[in-house]
Structure 1
Amino acid sequence: MIRHICMFKLKDENKEANLKEALRRLEEMREIPLIATFEVVTNAAAAPDSNYDLSLIFDFKNMDDLNAYQKHPMHVEFGKFITAIRESRACIDYEF
């Protein structure tokens, strides 16, 4: 199995609306059959503002599925959207 974790720090401008839209778009991605497990979380309200705002944790059966997911139209569209609204991003993919 491959775990794919991405964390996003959103720009301050329109942060609440952009976070809501990001969550909506991510929820639509739940239907991508390549994703074996799907979890999306947001920073706790009491946590420091310096933390990342949004994280996704997706599991894939293998690296081929992760690579195919990267090219999936829904992922490509989400990538364009999140790039426009994010300040920074950190990702890791690991086997478990």
Structure 2
Amino acid sequence: MIRHVAVFKFKPEFTAEQRQEWIEIIKDLPNHIPQIRMMSIGEDTLHGPNSHELAIVADFDSLEDLHVYSTHPAHQKVLDISGPVKASLATVDFEL
């Protein structure tokens, strides 16, 4: 099993309303990409000096399934929205 973790910081112009619409698109991804075994998304609650604003965690059976997710048109829509407004993105993919 592969766990994919992505953490984001956003530019100020990404409004709360736009962010909520984007989050809803992400929450719908498992309905379009059956390779996603589990997905969760959450906004930071501590707002510490090293905190990112939002995290996505998704589990896949294999690296191949992660690749399907990464290249899927439904995921591309997520990237098209977040790309211009992300200030920082860090990802980690590891075996469970």
TM over 0.5: yes
Map 1:11-26 to 2 at 5 A: 11-26=11-26
- Which stretches in structure 2 are left out of the alignment for 5+ residues? none
Q: Note the aligned Cα RMSD (angstroms).
A: 1.5
CA gap of 1:28–1:60, structure 2 versus 1, over 3 A, is same
Q: 4+ residue runs of structure 1 moved beyond 4 angstroms?
A: none
Deviation at 1:50, TM superposition (A): 5.2
Structure 1 position 41 matched with structure 2 position 42: yes
Deviation at 1:19, TM superposition (A): 1.8
How far apart are the structure 1 equivalents of 2:20 and 2:50? Answer: 19
SS of structure 1 residue aligned to 2:79: helix
State the TM-score, normalizing by the size of structure 2: 0.89
State the TM-score, normalizing by the size of structure 1: 0.89
CA gap of 1:95–1:70, structure 2 versus 1, over 3 A, is same
Aligned length: 95
How far apart are the structure 2 equivalents of 1:49 and 1:17? Answer: 24
Equivalent pairs: percent with the same residue? 26
- Which stretches in structure 1 are left out of the alignment for 5+ residues? none
